[in-house]
Chain A
Amino acid sequence: MSTTINSFNGDQQQSSSSPDVGDLEKHYIDAKAFILSATTKDGINLYDHLAHCISQLLTDQPREATDLVEDISKTIKSETTPTQHDTLRDRPAPDSEHCLAAEQKPLFEKVDHNEELDDEALQSPLPHILEQAYYFEQAGIGLGKDESYRIWLALKQLADKGQIDKLRFWGKIFGTQKNYFIAEAEQNVDDETDENELHEEAHISDDNRHPNEEEMDGEEDMLPKSNYKPPPVVPKEERGTGVNKYTYYVCNHPGGVWVKLPIVTPAQISQARLIKHYFTGDLNKEITSYPAYSGTERNYLRAQIARISATSSVSPAGKFKFSEEEEETEDEGARESYQENEDFKGATLSELLDEELNGWVHHVQYILPQGRTKWWNPGENVDKEEEENEEEEEMKAETEEIEPEQGPPLLTPIGADAEIQTTKAWTARISSHLIPQYACAFVRSNLWPGSYAFARGAVWENIYVGFGHKYATSDYGPELPPLPANEYSDGPEIGEAEDPSPEEEAKARAAEEQAADEGEEEEAEEEIDNEDDDN
């Protein structure tokens, strides 16, 4: 402050010829009076404000004080201005950070182990998530150490419930409101089916029955019957087989409740192929799309998981082999099961990084266009119905011609995957060029961006982190609505007659009267005839 006053004084000295001390004093007092009197409506005094700013600068002594002057002035102003209290004040939101911490705390609580670390505890189906996370990090994907550990704890919680033979972390799907963490479990097939599924089945059969009932108590005036027959519903694959081989559990955040997803039906898979929709994070949300999706987000999620798993679950070649018994019965069609190859010592990097991509194989069955992994012949079904209605022999002839859909068999090298236009379906890389002796190999799906697999020695794993949509080179357009039906052809029977004009009416009336005059007698006879008819 002192410097400014000095220069101010200096200016004064130059301008005024006589350096009068009293004059100078006067100038000083004038200036100070002005500064003191400059007061805003809010009651901020310029003098106080300046003093405040300068004392702030002197106490803080920031390095770039010149640049910060405006900001300091602004903050001080906003602090001293009395805040305008609104009658509607923001209610402080419940501290969700605290809620979450409280929810996740049980994950960290140690369960009392009465027994020492016995064999059973060591044979838990829980995978080594952190080791996998380390390799995924090398591959440039993953969820970070912190979150991975929480997921691990959450998976442990799931595994401790029992009933699970094998468990792995499938991946994370981003939603617009919340995300899904997905665990894949292999369970005993003889597990009782969930109540939900039973409900659903009951619901579906209700729907089917409904139209029939309506027909039964239809009115006397029968509406024309449609001769359209819906195509037969493709039966779903039971839990433990085909697309429902694994059971999936989802939660919105580690520590949340694991929700078991229902089994997927072929129709849900085929419909999911027609639509593209962001997940919201709410399992019960209805999906607004065209064509309409039958089911809630939980079914759509399950269908997308099945599609992603089928295309992008890969393992190093040689890890799995077909069991010998199966090999004998090879003629039966595609082999469905395989077993772990105990002689597998791990694939070498050069095999895994092979340009033809023969070092990796699919270990999940391909989903046919029908929505099943094993083709179901609609013809067989018709045969049974045949006995009931014999008229449909033509239909039978048609269905017999259907060629069974076929997909690539299990354990096919990924190099044989169909290309996306001109790009390969997979990209194989090494995690480090600088230290290749400790690097792992990884593949990335180009068809389902976000799907990765790594392998190093005998360790390998798949993960999916993404929005859950397939890559397409062309833009998506929803299926067009069906064409409008043809108009009913106009005929004389439905044509509207023109109203007669007054002249015509008069003419008709005249003719009528004439006729009445002429045939009064006849009419009398007719009337009698009519009466006879009525009786």
Chain B
Amino acid sequence: MGIEAKDFSLDLDLLAYSGIVFSPEQRAALQTSLVILKEQYKFKTIHLWGKILGITEDYYIIQGRQKDELKDRQFLYSLDCINWNMLTPPGDEAKELTPQCQGRFTGDPSHDFDVTKYTVSNEDTEEENIEEYKSQLREEERLAATLWKIEQDAIIIPRGSYVLQPNGNVERNRTFEGLTVTESGKLSNYFHFREPITLQQKSLIHRATLDKSLHFLDTIDEDVPKGWSVQYERGSGLVQIRSLKWPGMAFFHIPETNRYGSLYCGVGEENKDLPFML
């Protein structure tokens, strides 16, 4: 989701409740970069997406979107908030290797990680054998794959904030007036902002009852295990949703307004221990 350039500094303050803070220097630099990049790459909208904490340097991530905000997304990364590089979408191999990759991001895009991959054949039989191969993963590819995975798991939007247009594009709903206070506390009113997966598996009868222009994505309350923490801050004046699967992903929404957004600020590693921790 990210934070859109136009409400940049207002929205950034709201995510400080989740401990996500950018220094004044970074804020100023990012604001300048957002404007320039939007023009340069001809994006329809541009969002600050978050940062990934590395050992020597941090990666700042910006996302640009075209007409269809669900499909046409592009990532840019920078180490200093001024010089940006385009991130190529991850290949299948990178996607497969990233979850097995151990250790923190270093801050050097050309760093190579050694990844050991195990494949088990003939599982649960006597001939079970585990093959082991070693391969290498470049940090830049790992970054791309990690961002892709976070987008799959932890980017959310409030219900009704995006609409499926008759021409198939997914666009921001200009008449969205926010969820009510009660609605905003329920996970069923938030969608995963990715191509739907579980919705296709629902029965036709169930799908027929849904509003096709609004309910075209997966709701997050169906996630297993339930890796979300919903909290009201400032009484009920602000909703904060934090992902427990990707600690560092925080989402905010001010009920009854169209202000919402999310940022990721973390080490870029999935919390695989989640089932034990609830």
Contact = CB atoms under 8 A, between A and B. Distances in A.
A93 to B, nearest CB: 6
B242 interface: yes
Contacts of B232: 96
Contact of A93 (B18, B173, B182, B231): B182
- 5 smallest A-B Cβ distances: which pairs? A144-B16, A97-B235, A100-B235, A465-B19, A476-B273
A427 B24 CA distance: 21
Contact of A90 (B182, B231, B267, B273): B182
Given A175-B229, A427-B56, A476-B272, 5 more contacts: A72-B175, A96-B235, A146-B13, A423-B55, A449-B247
B104 A466 contact: no
B174 interface: yes
A178 B231 contact: yes
A476 B181 CA distance: 37
Interface in B100-117: 102-104, 106
A75 B175 contact: yes
B175 A424 contact: no
Contact of B102 (A473, A476, A477): A473
A276 interface: yes
A contact patch SS: loop
B235 A147 contact: no
A369 interface: no
Contact of B16 (A98, A143, A431): A143
Interface residues of A, number: 64
Contact of B19 (A175, A421, A450): A450
Of B18, B22, B106, the most chain A CB neighbours within 10 A belong to: B18
Given A137-B23, A423-B55, A432-B25, A177 B231 contact: yes
A71 B175 contact: yes
Nearest to A143: B16
B148 interface: no
A179 interface: yes
A432 B103 contact: no
Contacts of B237: 97
B175 A138 contact: no
Contacts of B80: 433
Contacts of A88: none
Interface string B255-278: 000000000001100001100111
B174 A278 contact: no
Nearest to A135: B23
Interface string A140-153: 11111111000000
Contacts of B267: 449, 471
Of B102, B166, B244, B276, the most chain A CB neighbours within 10 A belong to: B276
Of A70, A97, A289, A466, the most chain B CB neighbours within 10 A belong to: A97
A450 B106 CA distance: 17
Given A93-B181, A177-B229, A144 B277 contact: no
Interface in A29-72: 67-68, 70-72
B35 interface: no
Interface string B235-248: 11100001010010
Interface string A355-396: 000000000000000000000000000000000000000000
A244 interface: no
